[in-house]
Structure 1
Amino acid sequence: MSYQRETLIQCPYCGETLDVLVDDSSGSQTYYEDCSVCCSPILFLLTEDEFGEIQVEIKRDDE
């Protein structure tokens, strides 16, 4: 069963606030998703903390 939650992020390129769906059913993962406004590739880093909660970190592709 897949679990997706809505998460607000700020694009590290254009600064636009975006509402994205994050699938946190697979634990820690890394993937790219393009900004829906400026089309730049946003790097998503999902990490699972000691309590099993998923933390979302975003970065520019060149960071």
Structure 2
Amino acid sequence: MYEHFFQCPYCWEEISMLLDPSVVRQIYVEDCEVCCNPIQITPEFQENELIAFDASDIEQ
């Protein structure tokens, strides 16, 4: 597992998530641990290294 720190697109607090590098490209939704709003997480790995990461708000 890979721990990654980033800012929530809603409350701007720094949060962390455990990412699984065994899946090259993923898209999933995770709630912010501070404000509980849904965040679309898109990590991309190459040879077990994180090469791209996006955390976007989900317009509701």
Q: Same fold (TM over 0.5)?
A: yes
Hey, what does 2:18 align to over in structure 1? 21
Gapped regions of structure 1 (runs ≥ 5): none
1:5-31 Cα distance to aligned partner (Å, 9 max, x none): 110010000000002111121111100
- From 5, 10, 13, the equivalent of 2:2 is 5
- RMSD of Structure 2 on Structure 1 (CA): 1.2
User: 5 Å matches for 1:1-63?
Assistant: 4-48=1-45, 52=46, 53-54=49-50, 55-62=52-59
TM-score (norm 2): 0.82
> Any unmatched runs of 5+ in structure 2?
none
Identity %, equivalent residues: 38
Count residues with an aligned counterpart.
56
Q: Which runs of 4 or more aligned residues in structure 1 lie more than 2 Å from their structure 2 counterparts after TM superposition?
A: none
Normalised by the length of structure 1, the TM-score is 0.78
